[in-house]
Amino acid sequence: MNILDIKAKFKSWLDLDLRTVLLHAVVGGIMGYISFIINQPLLNLVFALAILIIIIYVNRKISKITEEKKWWMSSVLIYLFMWMLVWTIFYNTRIA
C-alpha cells in the first residue's frame, strides 16, 4: 500500500463533519478545564459562548463553507457536552 493511498483515504475519512466535531470536542474540553479554573459561573458561560462563536466563524473561514445549512449544529451540542463533562469531572475531583 502506497503512502499516497493512505493519505487519500485518511483525508476522505476526515471530511468536513468529522473535522468540525473533533475541533469542537477538543475546544469544549479545554473550555471545561478553563471554566474549572476561573470558577465564576456567569463569566464561564459568557467566555464559553464567546469562544463557541469564534470557533464557528474560524471553522467556516478555514473550511471555506459557503452554504447556509446547519452544518455546525451537531458540533455545538458536542462542544457544550464536552464543556460540561470536563468541568464536572474536574469539579468532582476537587471536592473529593
pLDDT tens-digit map of 28-72: 999 999 999 998 889 988 998 899 889 888 887 877 766 666 655
User: What does pLDDT average to over the chain?
Assistant: 81
Nearest of 82, 77, 70 to residue 35 by alpha carbon? 82
Nearest of 42, 37, 12, 25 to residue 90 by alpha carbon? 37
CB neighbour class for 47 (10 Å; exposed up to 12, middle 13-18, buried from 19): middle
Instruction: Return phi, psi of residue 48, to 5°.
Output: -65, -40
In this predicted structure, what is the pLDDT of residue 61? 80
Is residue 28 a contact partner of residue 83, using CB atoms and an 8 Å limit? Answer: yes
Q: Which pTM was predicted?
A: 0.74
